[in-house]
Amino acid sequence: MIKFDNVTFQYENAFSPALSNVSLEIPDGEFVAIVGHNGSGKSTLAKHVNGLLLPVTGTVTVNGLDTRVEDNLLKIRQNVGMAFQNPDNQLVTTIVEEDVAFGPENLGVAPSEIRARVDEALADVGMSDYAEFAVHHLSGGQKQRIAIAGILALKPQILVLDEASAMLDPSGRAELLSTVHKLHKQGMTVLMVTQYMEETTGCDRIVVMNRGKIVLTGTPSEVFCHPDLLMESNLVPPEVVTVRDSLKQLGFSLSDNVLTAGQLAEELCPLL
Ligand code: ADP
Ligand code: MG
């Protein structure tokens, strides 16, 4: 569904490329997490998915449409919803349901269809009860879910989140993550940039970036088997994985699938 073919990108005033020879294929329905320390190129990669940035060399295609062909951009952007860090920058009106309706209204969608889309989108993010609430009364996590409802009302097939949880407290982050997992289960293709390694354990695949390059990719169990490679990219695996590995060194036989506290408890208790 999304294909990066040997993509290189350099900002005009920069000394080195922000993306170098990035190739990546994301099939329909996959949930991919992108991790990497600050400046590794995650946002630059995310902005290539909907043509906010265009490759200097190489190609990005979405559903077979090349982002460099201007006539494709409207179609691509209708298909790719983007959520960013600050929910306040993504909400445009004062009332929740008006905000969710804003996108389809601008596209000229019929009012009855808008009503249906707004109700469905609010239900999808678990915010139906808040339809008539004032946006400024919501928590950060709730605002971010409303921002996502606004994206869903445009009916995209792909959701790109660029550190959308970064400004949220732990409960807001948990709300947002479970919403994203729910959308993924309903068939959404998800590309989630995050700085929280714990958020990646339930994804289909993790892509690790360093200095504009993809340095490691695999399932969470595969990626977290390489703490050395992660360290080279200035990343630390989730705490549970570190505890798991320490326990393994003490002789406990634990599988690589242990990535969360629950999974650790499940494997460890019978051994104790
Ligand atoms: P990340 O999202 O992983 O923190 P970015 O994609 O934002 O990384 O940045 C990748 C590289 O590109 C960094 O070296 C950053 O300084 C540089 N960069 C990002 N945005 C711009 C810009 N608008 N102009 C020049 N350089 C930029
Ligand atoms: Mg970024």
Residue 8's SS3 state is strand
- The atom number, within ligand 1, closest to the CA of 13 reads 25
Say yes or no to pLDDT of 138 above 90. yes
What is the DSSP track for 204-253? SEEEEEETTEEEEEE-HHHHTT-HHHHHHTT----HHHHHHHHHHHTT--
Q: Which atom of ligand 1 is nearest the CA belonging to 163?
A: 2
Q: How far is the CA of 44 from the centre of ligand 2 (A)?
A: 7
User: 2-237 maps to which CATH number?
Assistant: 3.40.50.300
Which amino acids bring their CB within 6 angstroms of ligand 1?
11, 13-14, 18, 36, 38-44
Give the residue, by CA position, lying nearest to ligand 1 atom 23: 11
Picking from 141-150, 163-172, 234-243, which range would have the lowest pLDDT averaged per residue? Answer: 163-172
pLDDT interval class at 167 (50, 70, 90): confident
Mean pLDDT value across residues 213-235: 94
Which ligand is nearest the CA of 38, by number? 1
| Ligand 1: residue whose CA is nearest its atom 27 | 11
pLDDT > 70: percent of the chain = 100
Q: Where are the domains of the chain?
A: 2-237
Band of residue 168 on the pLDDT scale cut at 50, 70, 90: confident
Q: How far is the CA of 33 from the centre of ligand 1 (A)?
A: 18
Distance 51 CA to ligand 1 centre (A): 16
| 87 pLDDT tier (thresholds 50, 70, 90) | confident
- By three-state DSSP, how is residue 191 classified? strand
Separation of CA 2 and ligand 1 centre (Å): 22
Which of 19, 34, 43, 44 is the pocket-test mutation for ligand 1 (most atoms within 8 Å of CB)?
Answer: 44
Pocket mutation for ligand 1, best pick of 34, 43, 192 (most atoms within 8 Å of C-beta): 43
Please give the model's pTM, rounded to 2 decimal places: 0.94
Phi, psi at residue 252, to the nearest 5°? Answer: -75, 135
Write the single-letter amino acid at 123: A
Residue in the structure block whose two tokens are 């009860």: 129
139 CA to centre of ligand 1 in angstroms? 29
Please compute the mean of the pLDDT values over residues 106-124 and round it to a whole number. 94
pLDDT, mean of residues 224-238: 92
Index of the ligand 1 atom closest to the CA of residue 47: 6
Single-letter code of the amino acid located at 269: C
Nearest to 46 by CA among 34, 64, 31, 59: 34
Q: Closest ligand 1 atom to the C-alpha of 209? A: 3
Say what angle helices 170-185 and 111-124 make with each other, to 10 degrees: 120
Could you identify the atom of ligand 1 that is nearest to the CA of residue 36? 3
Token pair 């494709």 in the structure block, residue = 72
Query: How many Å lie between the centroid of ligand 2 and the Cα of residue 150?
Result: 22
Task: Report whether 106 contacts 75 (CB < 8 A).
Answer: no
Q: Whose atoms come closest to the Cα of 164: which ligand?
A: 2
DSSP code string of 120-163:
HHHHHTT-GGGTTSBGGGS-HHHHHHHHHHHHHTT--SEEEEES
